[in-house]
Structure 1
Amino acid sequence: MAVSPSSSARQARQALASRLADLCLDAGLTGAELAERCGWSRSKTSRIKNGRTPPSADDIRAWCRACGAEEQTEDLIASLRTAEGMWVTWRRMERAGLKQAQEARLPLYQRTRRFRSYSSWLVPGVIQTRQYTTAVLRAIQRRRGLVDDVGDAVTARLERQRVLCEGDRRFAFLVEESVVRSGIGGPDVMTEQLRHLVAVASRPNVSLGVVPMRPDRERWPVEGFWIYDTAQVNVELISGYLTITQPGEVAMYADTFAELAGLAVHGAEARALIEDAIERLG
């Protein structure tokens, strides 16, 4: 389990360690006795109990067997998988290709009713055109040396865009001005994408804000993130994909989104900025 920059992941790992420690205590075993029954060193037992070393699924099976608590094995392994899923490196997430990574997020989109997205790098995926998505995913595939399933991955990402038209969902998108001024795929792809942004912004369930470039900003650009209702935040970092569920951390991202929205232009001002970018491309 990779070390995560999020306290959500740390707390999930610590909660698992505490449950394992309680099993040992309930069984009346010392750390040395449990280590002997499991056939490993005392130091390994100590590291797992204190949350310094994450256990493997096999470690959990051996631990539960030693404590006479095999009935808790599957539940504890499920907790392990949850903690592991809070921080996933791109290599691990995309090891089976980009299509699977795109499809894995669909259930989250389907159960969310209020979306808030901030991007300082690219146009958010759910409002990308096919050509723009293809350029983005092709660049990722080449940079990371992944299997070439870009065509299927593009289709999977576009499938998620159906949520824009289904149900009573609401969307608030914020992008930095640099996202519309410089992009990917060339002038034709960017022109089509920017025109699509203008069209999407006219939808009654969509708010689009552009944070202008200026020399005296009090809130500087941050990493791109999505807020799903008030339950979860996902952050795309250079090294991996972070899932945040701790209420305090979710609230911090919500506050940051509100601050950035206060700096952004919306409506006619945002449309004028985007149309100026289109004109400069042409």
Structure 2
Amino acid sequence: MRDIDRVRQQMGARLKELRLDAKLTGRQLAARCDWQASKVSKLENGRQTPSESDIHDWCEAVECPNEAADLITTLRSLETLYAEWRRQLRHGIRANQQSRVEADTKTTSFRVFEPVLVPGLLQTSEYARFRLSQVIAFHEIPDDLEDGVHARIRRQEALYDPAKQFHFVILEAALRMGMAPPDVMLGQLDRLVSVTMAPRLRFGIIPMHVLLPFAPQHGFWIFDDRFVQVETVAAELTLTLSEEVRQYVRLFDWFAKEAQYGAQARRIITQTMEDLSA
């Protein structure tokens, strides 16, 4: 079970326990809160996430107002596991990039897989500018593009920390798909040539012709063995269950075995540059 589902179900079980202790039926509690009865069932079974207002109303209805604080703390931990992009980005790109610095600082081993994008820590400012401008337009958030680009590039200082190790694996498709204009992509490819020679950093490319060991459904970042971050169109998921982390570590190892490094990776990059310039 995913962390998010587990926490939501734990909250639902606690809400149900409070209702039963108060000797109320679901319909009686719904009436006290002026809700439809179906809402009580959805909350108790973890099919709907309560708001802070819902929690306060529930605890008042069962005459246990002191329980609200603990439940709200649990709710906020759930919001950390599932961070909806519109909420994360409501203060702009720069604030979102800066919020990631704490996780970067605490992490000594980064394992990153990206199927169609160059990872943020390896992006040129031009590539980052193009990608982040699309994020701003799609999510209709405040336009602080230049500050956001600057913040993303500042995060790359972690690459030069001798206490940290980085292992990046991407698909060759990330170099060849139309993810940036040709002139921007050529500059990004040139940067990746130097990345293949950087100390304390492994950069692998899985060639187009390789039979993949598993479908690359999305990119993911593994922070030590503590947690995994996965980005979807609507939200960023933070997975902390040990079994989930182990699955992503296993998948990363599978992809890494199929990747080419060093001179072989450089040949893929330079061939892509030649094809793009033709």
Shorter-chain-normalised TM-score: which range? Answer: 0.7 to 0.9
Separation (CA, whole Å) in 2 of partners of 1:42 and 1:222: 38
Q: What TM-score comes out, normalization by structure 2 length?
A: 0.88
Partner of 1:272: 267
Find 1:219's aligned residue among 200, 214, 219: 214
Separation (CA, whole Å) in 2 of partners of 1:34 and 1:187: 61
Moved more, 206-215 or 68-77: 68-77
SS in 2 for 1:10: helix
Moved more, 126-135 or 62-71: 62-71
Q: Confirm or deny that 1:233 pairs with 2:228.
A: yes
Q: What TM-score comes out, normalization by structure 1 length?
A: 0.87
For the structure 1 residues 72 and 166, does the alpha-carbon distance in structure 2 shift closer, same or farther, using more than 3 Å as the test? farther
Q: Confirm or deny that 1:245 pairs with 2:229.
A: no
Separation (CA, whole Å) in 1 of partners of 2:179 and 2:37: 54
The amino acid across from 1:19 in the alignment is R
For the structure 1 residues 41 and 273, does the alpha-carbon distance in structure 2 shift closer, same or farther, using more than 3 Å as the test? closer
For the structure 1 residues 65 and 269, does the alpha-carbon distance in structure 2 shift closer, same or farther, using more than 3 Å as the test? same
* Structure 1 residue 13 displacement after superposition: 0.5
* Structure 1 residue 170 displacement after superposition: 1.1
Partner of 1:60: 55
Runs of at least 5 residues in structure 1 that lack an aligned partner in the other structure: 1-5
For the structure 1 residues 68 and 159, does the alpha-carbon distance in structure 2 shift closer, same or farther, using more than 3 Å as the test? farther
**How many residue pairs were aligned?**
277
Is the 8 Å Cα contact of residues 116 and 177 (structure 2) preserved in structure 1?
Answer: no
Q: Percent of counterpart pairs with the same letter?
A: 38
SS in 2 for 1:122: coil
Separation (CA, whole Å) in 2 of partners of 1:15 and 1:122: 36
SS in 1 for 2:91: coil
* Structure 1 residue 129 displacement after superposition: 1.0
Partner of 1:3: none
Is the 8 Å Cα contact of residues 122 and 183 (structure 1) preserved in structure 2?
Answer: no
Equivalence map 1:66-215=2 (5 Å): 66-166=61-161, 168-214=163-209
Separation (CA, whole Å) in 2 of partners of 1:201 and 1:215: 20
The amino acid across from 1:159 in the alignment is R
* Structure 1 residue 28 displacement after superposition: 5.3
Partner of 2:19: 24
For the structure 1 residues 68 and 113, does the alpha-carbon distance in structure 2 shift closer, same or farther, using more than 3 Å as the test? farther
* Structure 1 residue 26 displacement after superposition: 4.5
Is the 8 Å Cα contact of residues 112 and 169 (structure 1) preserved in structure 2?
Answer: yes
For the structure 1 residues 110 and 44, does the alpha-carbon distance in structure 2 shift closer, same or farther, using more than 3 Å as the test? same
SS in 2 for 1:95: coil
The amino acid across from 1:239 in the alignment is A
Is the 8 Å Cα contact of residues 176 and 221 (structure 1) preserved in structure 2?
Answer: no
- RMSD between superposed Cα atoms in Å: 2.4
Separation (CA, whole Å) in 1 of partners of 2:251 and 2:180: 30
